[in-house]
Chains A and B, each alone.
Chain A
Amino acid sequence: MTPLAAAPALLHDALLVGAILFALGLVGILARRNLIVMFLSAELMLQGISVSLVAWSRHHGDFGGQVLVILVLTVAACEAAVALVFVLQAFARTGRLDAAAWQSLREATLPRAVDHALPASDAAPPRWPRLSTAGVEPAADEEAALEREHV
């Protein structure tokens, strides 16, 4: 590859890395329920933007992109400080870092999110001894077993 083609290749690869980081952050902020992990995902998106800005800055030979990344760092610090105060107060009210703990703020037309078949813990389920069958198996109420008292 000639050196002439090297710079657009570096631009392409760096922009691709930035796009991947941004998409990962988007998936995290959409999917995760923990407020802190959602903020980490937002920071991941900011990292993707920073990589793209620096790539363009190098491509154009201009410091504007790098100055913008410094401002992104500043805004991220402010955002983390203010947002973590609200996260801590939300935790003080509900006792959970759960985004779904605030689902009473949703639109009136939206259904309530209820978790089904939630594992109680990551510990391995206990192994009970296998007993020989005796008597009649009682009918299980499956709906009641799936419901939890809170989300």
Chain B
Amino acid sequence: MTGLLPELSPGLVLAGAVTAAAASLWLLLPRSGESRAARWLGLALGAAALAGLVATGRRLGGLGEEAVFLTVALVAVISGAATIVTRSPVYSAIWFALSLTGVSGVLLVLGAQFLGVATIVVYAGAILVMFLFVLMLAQPSGLAPYDRVSNEPLLSAVAGAVLLGLLSLAIGRLTSDTACCAVAPRAAGPATQAAAPAPSAVDPLAADQVARLGGELFGRHLLAVEVAGVLLLVALIGAIAAVARGEAALEDDRRLAAGGGRR
């Protein structure tokens, strides 16, 4: 999409977009003494940063695929940004759920059907509900003071922008390097490689995706599945034990405090 901006080099567009993203996050993060004008300026800078990042993206094959990918990626990124700048933690969690739907759309575009659905079911259906439970248990009425300020918003935004700039530079170099990315898929044998002229354009994992993923999971990675099961069990027991020990410690604290007060 760099054809839209013929006079600007891609590196300049990327630097501008990253700087605008940092400024936008700094303006939008919860701060003391913020104004409505700063919020609008932050939104405008965020839109500019998104436009710059879209401009550094490569053209995908077809218009339809490109439109779908752009839509789900923008949903994921915009709601991800809204997750970290929203004051109310409940709204943060809801924005995170929307970001999860965007991420699952990206995974579907990438051809990972099982993971796209699992992200929605496991993350939005289970983990996020757990977060919301804790929020509802622990949320004071109204906005807490610590939700209206941030730790060093400028330095944090700059750190994120530096990381993003370095990562996108590395990604751009990596994928423009034809020696790296003309690599043929490992699954394709030499015979199929000779038959298909463009093996990297088609998804080699598309046929019977879920069945083959299950075969891979319970074949080559069986040990990892067993370890994950043990990890889940340990986390379950650990959580229960931590709750029990914590209750006991709290009781001790209360008894000590009451005894000290009487004396």
Taking Cβ atoms with an 8 Å cutoff, the residues of A that contact B are 1-17, 19-28, 30-34, 36-37, 39-41, 43-44, 47, 50-51, 54-55, 57-64, 66-67, 69-71, 73-82, 84-89, 91-93, 96-101, 113, 115-122, 148, 151
Contacts and interface: CB of A to CB of B under 8 A. Distances in A.
A89 B205 contact: no
Chain A interface SS verdict (over half): helix
Contacts of A89: 242-243, 246, 250
B228 interface: yes
Interface in B84-102: 84, 87, 89, 92-93, 96, 99-100
Contacts of A86: 242
Contacts of B250: 89, 92-93
Interface in B222-262: 224, 228, 231-232, 234-236, 238-239, 242-243, 246, 250, 253
Given A12-B57, A66-B114, A79-B235, 16 more contacts: A13-B57, A25-B80, A27-B156, A34-B144, A44-B96, A47-B119, A59-B200, A60-B186, A61-B205, A70-B228, A80-B130, A84-B134, A88-B137, A98-B146, A121-B142, A122-B143
A21 B181 CA distance: 23
Contact of B131 (A3, A4, A40, A70): A40
Contacts of A20: 53, 77, 80, 164
A27 B80 CA distance: 11
Contacts of B167: 19, 22-23
A89 B163 CA distance: 34
Contacts of A121: 142-143
Given A13-B60, A33-B149, A50 B119 contact: yes
Given A51-B106, A63-B212, A121-B142, A43 B96 contact: yes
B32 A115 contact: yes
Contacts of B137: 88, 91
B77 A17 contact: yes
Question: Counting chain A CB atoms within 10 Å of each CB, which of B89, B106, B228 scores highest?
Answer: B106
Nearest to A75: B231
Given A23-B164, A80-B127, A34 B172 contact: no
Contacts of A92: 246, 250
B138 interface: yes
A119 B150 contact: no
Nearest to B30: A32
B7 interface: no
A86 B238 CA distance: 11
B118 A70 contact: yes
Interface in B135-187: 135, 137-140, 142-153, 155-157, 159-161, 163-164, 167-168, 171-172, 174-176, 181, 183, 185-187
Contact of B246 (A16, A27, A85): A85
B115 A98 contact: no
The 4 closest A-B pairs by CB, nearest first: A61-B185, A28-B84, A9-B58, A78-B235
A81 B239 contact: yes
Nearest to B131: A36
A76 B60 contact: no
A54 B155 CA distance: 31
Interface in B33-63: 33, 53, 56-61
Contact of A70 (B76, B99, B217): B217
A3 B61 contact: yes
Given A27-B84, A78-B232, A97 B110 contact: no
